[in-house]
């Protein structure tokens, strides 16, 4: 059996020109609007985390917590994937934020 490899084509894009010229340019206001929405989402999740974390950290230190801010629901599990599946099982269309039950709420290192 002979397997044919497809040829990769390289497209040179002149400096300063758009990578995808068929796409319309994004509106700067839209970018700022999305940034503001993400910041508001994070603040709502942080408020829920700050409310429930002190009592959960004592027994479930460093577990994953998935937060759905519109309902105020949160789901915890030592395995982040299991916690995410619990959250998506109850809120299949919602955006979920993952945090850790520790002093800062961060999930990893930078």
Task: Give per-residue pLDDT as tens, 28-85.
Answer: 899 899 999 999 999 999 999 999 999 999 999 999 999 999 999 999 999 999 999 9
Asked, for residue 42, whether it belongs to a domain, the answer is: yes
Asked, for residue 67, whether it belongs to a domain, the answer is: yes
- Give residue 1's pLDDT: 57
The domain of 88 spans: 31-100
Q: How confident is the model at residue 3 (pLDDT cuts 50, 70, 90)?
A: low
The answer to whether the CB of 70 falls within 8 A of the CB of 33 is no
Asked, for residue 2, whether it belongs to a domain, the answer is: no
Asked, for residue 74, whether it belongs to a domain, the answer is: yes
Residues in the chain: 110
| pLDDT tens digits for range 37-52 | 999 999 999 999 999 9
d(CA 96, CA 93): 9
**In the chain, how many domains are there?**
1
Asked, for residue 51, whether it belongs to a domain, the answer is: yes
pTM (predicted TM-score): 0.72
Asked, for residue 62, whether it belongs to a domain, the answer is: yes
């Amino acid at each position: 059996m002979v397997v044919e490899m497809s040829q990769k084509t390289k497209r040179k894009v002149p400096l300063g020109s758009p990578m995808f010229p068929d796409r319309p340019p994004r509106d700067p206001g839209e970018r700022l609007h999305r940034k503001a929405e993400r910041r508001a989402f994070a603040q709502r999740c942080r408020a829920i985390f700050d409310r429930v974390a002190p009592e959960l950290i004592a027994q479930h230190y460093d577990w994953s917590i998935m937060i759905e801010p519109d309902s105020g629901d949160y789901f915890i599990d030592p395995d982040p994937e299991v916690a995410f599946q619990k959250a998506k099982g109850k809120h299949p269309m919602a955006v979920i934020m993952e945090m850790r039950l520790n002093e800062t709420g961060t999930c990893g290192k930078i």
